[in-house]
Amino acid sequence: MTTSPWTYVIGPFVGAFLAFGLARMYDANRRFNERLAAGNLALLTLKNQFNDFTLFRLGFAEDCRRITLTGDEPIWTLVRPNFMRYGDYEFDYKEVAFLFESGAHPPAFDDIELAQMAHHDLIKMDEHRTATARETQRLVAKEGKVGEGLDVAEKIIGKAMVAELEMLASGLALRAADNEQVYLKAFRSLRSALREHIMQTWRYRVGYLWRMRHDATVEDMLVQLRLRLELGFNSDELPPFPEKLQATVNETLAARKAYKARAKG
């Protein structure tokens, strides 16, 4: 049997082509897995920040309704030191920098930036709360007036400290009432951007080979956030704020709504 001379000419090219194609497929598959892992880690960062927020919200709501209070105290008396420690959940934009490829700017990053600002603000405000409350306790204890009534304590700490404590109580209550959607929107926006990215990849487009033809399969690949948290952590299950504190929250939220309406008009 005579071997065709074309075999010696074409054979090496076919072998090289197949090797090149397999290498590209391997690299694409590796890159896909790396980006999927990075995207899920980014989602977990946002999810953990949200978990920190819900723990703060629960603790603050319960503290404002603690059994030692009658419910008619001045707002400044609601502030006590907080011994909660937040996790070091810093969002790393580099992990999902691939979403910026080809000059794209996913709107999700604006939502993520707002969530990072809200989380940093919460931590700093809570630290300020603890430091100020401890200083208040120290001043009253130094005068030997512990347990002698709120009027006595107020005179000892002074009007400036009272105003600061009221600001902290109102500010934390406002964040507890209004910041949930900031975290949820950031998580959902990033997840949507990652989902869209996956659907543009080579691995998705030949999905029937990888059982990734349908959107439901993509949904299963990405970290999810339950619509309802564990019992006791949802906003509608928390103890209500005292009336005076809730009134300040309502007033601020109403003012924000009116401002936004004027801005749109």
pLDDT tens, residue by residue, 59-82 = 999 999 988 888 888 999 999 998
Residue type, 51: N
pLDDT at residue 209, rounded to an integer: 59
Do 80 and 63 form a contact (C-beta atoms < 8 A)? Answer: yes
pLDDT at 63: 92
pLDDT at position 155: 92
Task: Give the predicted TM-score (pTM) of the model.
Answer: 0.85
The pLDDT value given to residue 234: 94
Locate all alpha helices (DSSP H) within 65-179, ordered by sequence. 108-142, 150-178
Q: Residue 122: which of 86, 94, 74 has the closest Cα?
A: 86
- Who has greater pLDDT, 255 or 145? 255
Tokens standing for residue 127: 């630290």
Contact of 36 with 43, CB cutoff 8 Å: no
Predicted confidence (pLDDT) at residue 27 exceeds the cutoff of 60: yes
Average pLDDT over residues 86-114: 87
The pLDDT value recorded for residue 15 is 56
| Distance from C-alpha of 73 to C-alpha of 80, rounded to nearest angstrom | 14
User: Taking residues 75-91, what's their average pLDDT?
Assistant: 88
Residues 183 and 49: their CA atoms lie apart, in Å, by 8
Helices (H), 143-242: 150-178, 180-199, 202-205, 207-210, 215-221
Q: What is the per-residue pLDDT for 251? A: 94
pLDDT over 70, % of the chain? 86
Q: What is the pLDDT of residues 109-138, one digit of tens each?
A: 999 999 999 999 999 999 999 999 999 999
d(CA 165, CA 183): 26
84, 76, 95, 89: which is closest to 37 by C-alpha?
Answer: 95
